[in-house]
Structure 1
């Protein structure tokens, strides 16, 4: 009987050791030497074609030549006073996608400031369709996305400058969708809108 009890205690102590090994697994510190690989380094080289996720002075990486070019584009976009990109269907699609991710929860899909979080008690942002914002320069929207405004926090670390301008272009499209003038349409477009030339 004592022999069985001794064996049970011995087995249980072995389980505790195995459990502890799961918590304290062997690992390498970054750039530590290793004889596991032929080059003697524990860190593996990046696969060909890898694009740096972070770039710039604060990230500690420039991302090579591509990263440098992207940083220069970002600086140019940051300095622009109006949207520096041509408004194309591709730009508007990108703006809609980014707007849906970052802006819709508060501003709503229509941009009227009645998003889901507002319906749950969060303070409502202003509607993009009010005269003050319809007449605001493009740079105003870019700066608000970058630096935040009121209770809206900054998105500079989440949304790249080019995407901020894409969002601005999409906001302008939303504004136009609610305030387009029939007088700006040509005859064929007016006819399609009214369902025929004979109808008002």
Structure 2
């Protein structure tokens, strides 16, 4: 009796792992892999218009609360590479990464907040895009904080003068 029960159990267990008919299309996680189906022309992803509106210039009004949020987000996302002062001397540079440009260079001081938002969104050079990590309103906050760093002259090179007294 016990032998028959053991054999029945083994048969049931063996049947549980039979897989699917398309065994080549099954990954190790047992999910079915399907071929790529292109997105039909003329379709727009959900939320795309709301995101485009959130990124449209001129962006939110520059307020002390926005600058405080920008500083917080800057410290979290930007300072590892750009450093707290924006000079491109973040901790990753001391670990062998190439330094990013200083925010206090003339070509970067000339950027408008909209342009900074687009760089954060799309990335540039070695900087990868942060669109999937930073919310659109936080990108604006970071851009205004960077402009504030530049205006205060924090971290300016020794030959550059601050634009504020």
TM-score greater than 0.5 by the shorter chain? yes
Match of 1:102 in 2: 77
**Is 1:79 matched up with 2:79?**
no
Q: In the TM superposition, what is the alpha-carbon distance from 1:85 to its structure 2 partner?
A: 1.1
Given the alignment, which residue of 97, 106, 112 partners 1:131?
106
Larger radius of gyration: 1
In structure 2, distance between residues paired with 1:97 and 1:78: 19
**Is 1:180 matched up with 2:140?**
no
Q: In the TM superposition, what is the alpha-carbon distance from 1:174 to its structure 2 partner?
A: 0.6
Given the alignment, which residue of 94, 97, 100 partners 1:119?
94
Residue 116 of structure 1: SS of its match in structure 2?
coil
Residue 103 of structure 1: SS of its match in structure 2?
helix
- What are the Cα deviations for residues 18-44 of structure 1, in whole angstroms up to 9, with x where unaligned? xxxxxxxxxxxxxxxxxxxxxxxxxxx
Match of 1:185 in 2: none
In structure 1, distance between residues paired with 2:150 and 2:76: 19
Residue 142 of structure 1: SS of its match in structure 2?
helix
**Is 1:91 matched up with 2:66?**
yes
Match of 1:167 in 2: 142
In structure 2, distance between residues paired with 1:79 and 1:87: 15
Structure 2's unaligned 5+ residue stretches are: 1-43, 154-161
How many residues are treated as equivalent by the alignment? Answer: 114
Structure 1's unaligned 5+ residue stretches are: 1-55, 63-67, 183-200
- What are the Cα deviations for residues 62-87 of structure 1, in whole angstroms up to 9, with x where unaligned? 7xxxxx9xx63x3222222x4x2111
Higher RCO structure (Cα 8 Å, ≥6 apart): 2
CA root-mean-square deviation: 2.0
Q: Contact between 2:83 and 2:89, CA under 8 Å: does it hold in 1? A: yes
Structure 1 residue runs of 4+, over 4 Å off?
none
Answer 1 or 2: which has greater helix percent.
Answer: 1
> Could you tell me the TM-score, scaled by structure 1's length?
0.53
In structure 1, distance between residues paired with 2:77 and 2:164: 29
> Could you tell me the TM-score, scaled by structure 2's length?
0.64
